[in-house]
Structure 1
């Protein structure tokens, strides 16, 4: 009887192994855009071919799908890829996707947009060419209320358990990669590039997101390398090279009503090279919302000739004059920040600037082994400025210590 039971168990395990092996060996159905009518001539708009192919791949029920973009230049007007899809879907880009040079030819906020999708994978050696040069002179909204709305390169909204790997984003009209209400997403091996004087070309921008992991990524733009906005939590950033650009910024925060807390951020093993800022938190001096920024760890960060290596600015005002004296101080509470092993060179004598709110002072700020040297035109050792900060220092402090 025992031998029969044993034989039955072996049979069941064998059948299970065969099922698992057969599943793992099933390859996704490949939808090659070229074989389905897309023309890699850099002129023909392939938007309809791409979206039609997406609908077919997304609706397939019998297994996963792969959309493949081979080498070549595929001109693409504004496109949206919308789910939910029946199964996991891959988007492999080995060619170049070319945006219209005229910004008016993209009649949506984002050139390539993914919405309401789970288990999406974007990868390949290809390039997203935003052709932003013609658009950058039009980006004057701070002084021109009739400025045109320029499109971001690629956006993700309500996308979960997904990833983007190895793609290059070049010369976006506005931001490169935009994330809204995205959860459990990996970004790795990505290259993002635009000239340092290209306005508002943020590298990666995210709001209302959670569990985003960014690693082994190179970003050089005319704005924030990474911008972290309202409602973003549990963000891990490692091995990122940033420059040119405005650093990795939290905010700006507090300008609008209904904003949400930002918490649980880790940035480690990262290099800022020639940026205007390195570590940056910015909140509007007159806040419309009361939120908390908390549980941040910055560790093993190298600064190479950064203008403001460590910068907490709770009197943020990009286009003065501002009137915080009449409107009140920032109501954004910053607390529980640890900055450890931050080293390198500063282009300003003030290498550490902690300018916190008088109404809501920064709390529990730890500075550990801050080794920043002044490499600017003003002589003397690097210094620090602290306003309305409760915290502590330990380890080696090369810059002047302004915390007791």
Structure 2
């Protein structure tokens, strides 16, 4: 009897194991946009077809959804994808999404918007073609108060626990990717490109974000490769190639930048604040490590007298109230096109504190003769290891 019970128990366990291992994997439901009315002829506006597919995928309750854009050129007017969704959404783009050439045909500030979504994954080897060439001559707002408002390529607002991978963004009208109030987001393998003289085509721009990781990404634009605005915390940037462009500018707390190459950019490491900024903002806890500069105009540049189009109307309102502190620059090396390879121009009212330079080796490689130099104003810190140019810290 004991033997029978033991055999029955073993048989039950085996059957249970078979049931468990043979249970079918739940695959996402695929929504191919071409099968839902989208036409890849580069002419037909597919905005309504795309939003219709999004609504179905977003509302599906059982399992995840996958929206698939196959090869082909899909023209899109301004489009907006809004959550919250009932399930995780995977958006795979293998084709080309084509923006209107005429900037007036996009009736919103961002060409492709994602809002109020959790667990969003955007991937594929497709291209977002912003067709910005027609718009760039209109981008003259510094001298024309009636300049048109140009759209960014893709924007994320209130999107969490999400990622974008391997997509190419080409020739944006304004910036390429914009993030606002986005948390726990990974950007990897992305290619961002626009001509070096295309105005205000920032690669990645973010504000009020946290826990963003940017890695293995190539950015070449006419403005900042990565622009980081106030309210952003815990940002990590690694293995990013920047150039052409203006480098990485920021106004944040908690930033780590490692293993970056700046090639032919106007700036490398750059922190800028308006001279007249009256708001008391703390910029702190930055680490830059293993950064290569190749013929960069301003490899290390803190500018707290920022004024892009002088004369600035706020110039006479006093020194910047932005406090910069706890900044570590380690193993920064390569060549500078200007003699002044290290320029630390801080606020007289709120001097930079605890700036740490370790193993800096930036040689002058420009037309002016002589070795590279450093300039410091209102900076307190320390230096150690190899130091080219000679440091000027207090």
TM-score norm. by structure 1 comes to 0.93
Residue ranges of structure 2 left out of the alignment (5+ in a row): none
What residue is the counterpart of 2:392 in the other structure? 402
Counterpart of 2:187? 187
The verdict on how the C-alpha distance between 1:19 and 1:101 changes in structure 2, with shifts beyond 3 A counting, is farther
Within 5 A, what are the aligned runs for 1:162-241?
162-241=162-241
**TM superposition shift of 1:249:** 0.7
Q: Per-residue CA shift, 1:276-316, capped at 9, x if unaligned?
A: 00000001111131010000000000000000000000001
3-state SS of 1:35 partner = helix
Please give the alpha-carbon distance, in whole angstroms, between the structure 1 residues aligned to 2:382 and 2:388: 15
The Cα shift of 1:26 comes to 1.1
Q: Could you tell me which residue of structure 2 aligns to residue 334 of structure 1?
A: 324
State how far apart, in whole Å, the 1-side matches of 2:70 and 2:315 are. 58
Deviations 1:42-71 (A, max 9, x none): 000000000000000000001100000000
Correspondence 1:69-84 to 2 at 5 A: 69-84=69-84
Supply the distance in 1 between the matched residues of 2:222 and 2:157 (Cα, whole angstroms).
24
Residue by residue over 1:179-207, the C-alpha shift from the partner in whole angstroms, topping out at 9 and shown as x without a partner, is: 00000000000000000000000000000
Distance 2:248 2:317 in 1: 28
* Residue 283 of structure 2 corresponds to residue 293 of structure 1: yes
Q: What is the number of equivalent residue pairs in this alignment?
A: 392
Give the direction of change, closer, same or farther, for the CA distance of 1:370–1:29 in structure 2 (3 Å limit).
Answer: same
Task: Give the structure 2 partner of residue 387 of structure 1.
Answer: 377
**Change in CA separation of 1:341 and 1:11 when aligned onto 2, cut-off 3 Å:** farther
Alpha-carbon deviations, 1:63-94, whole Å to 9, x = none? Answer: 10000000000000000000000010100000
Q: Could you tell me which residue of structure 2 aligns to residue 284 of structure 1?
A: 274
- Spell out the pairing of 1:29-178 with structure 2 (5 A cutoff): 29-178=29-178
Structure 1 segments, 4+ long, off by >6 Å, are 2-5, 7-14
Q: Which runs of 5 or more structure 1 residues have no equivalent in the other structure?
A: 252-261
Write the distance in 1 (CA, Å) between the matches of 2:289 and 2:10: 52
Distance 1:394 1:48, change over 3 A: same
What's the offset of the Cα at 1:9?
11
Give the whole-Å Cα distance in 1 for the aligned partners of 2:11 and 2:384. 61
Q: Tell me the C-alpha RMSD between the 2 structures.
A: 2.1
Q: SS state of the match for residue 26, structure 1?
A: coil
Shift of 1:403: 1.7
Q: Aligned-pair distance for 1:321?
A: 1.4
Check 1:335–1:14 CA distance in 2 against 1; reply closer, same or farther (3 A cut).
Answer: farther
Q: 1:372 and 2:362 equivalent?
A: yes
2:308 is matched with: 318
Partner Cα distance (2:232, 2:177) in 1:
15
1:297-308 alignment runs, 5 A limit: 297-308=287-298
